[in-house]
Amino acid sequence: MAAAMQQEPRAWLASEAHRNATLLGLAAAMFALLQALVAASAALAAQPAVLALQRSLAIDAAGGGVTFDLLAAPLLRMFTVTYLGAAVSLGITLFFCWQAGRVSAQVTAGPALAAAAGVRVVNLSTATWLAATLVTALLLHADGTIAWLVTTFLALAGSSGDAPRSITITSPDAAFVVIQTLVLLAQAVIGYLPALGLGALAGRLGAAAA
């Protein structure tokens, strides 16, 4: 009976720590969403350069040439906004992981759930970023990552004879969309795995600070 009574407040404290981590994760997710929208805006601004580069690569595949001089600046700005913004978003997410670990340790009077709190923040932030990026890239054709460029090279490399006509980001064929989606998911996994470890570490550091 006494053991059951002790388990009840512990379960409540764990639930409270979980709820606080969720709230902090949603706060981090808002910054991830903002980053994805800023990257999409940069991609829309650079869309003429993206289309010009794709057409140049298609001409090159058919025996022409590629001119990068006028395209380098807008593409570089787009990639800088996207990936530098992602780095800043990761830093903000880790701050919320630290806060989640600190709050979790304060609520439960121990560091046991701190790492899990940090992981939860990372999961919510990453899921929001990925969903927003997929929507803007595939529906609005605003992909600020290198996914469209990698997909273009793969589409051209896999074509025989004349270059395919549906490789542009504004009118892609089904194969282009599938490959672009896979490359976007691969980027998400590459970023998610180290962020997961860093988020757990930040949670533990937050618990230590508590």
Quick check: is 8 in a domain? no
Quick check: is 100 in a domain? yes
Quick check: is 18 in a domain? no
Quick check: is 25 in a domain? no
- The DSSP secondary-structure symbol of 46 reads T
Half-sphere exposure of 101 (CA within 13 A, CB side): 25
pTM for this prediction: 0.86
| Number of separate domains in the chain | 1
Half-sphere exposure of 11 (CA within 13 A, CB side): 6
42-72 pLDDT, tens digit each: 999 999 999 989 888 887 655 455 566 667 8
Quick check: is 31 in a domain? no
Quick check: is 68 in a domain? yes
Span of 30-39, 68-77, 134-143 with lowest mean pLDDT = 68-77
CA angle in degrees (0–180, nearest 5) for 153-137-191: 80
Q: Estimate the share of the chain in helix, then strand, then coil, as percent rounded to the nearest 5.
A: 80, 0, 20
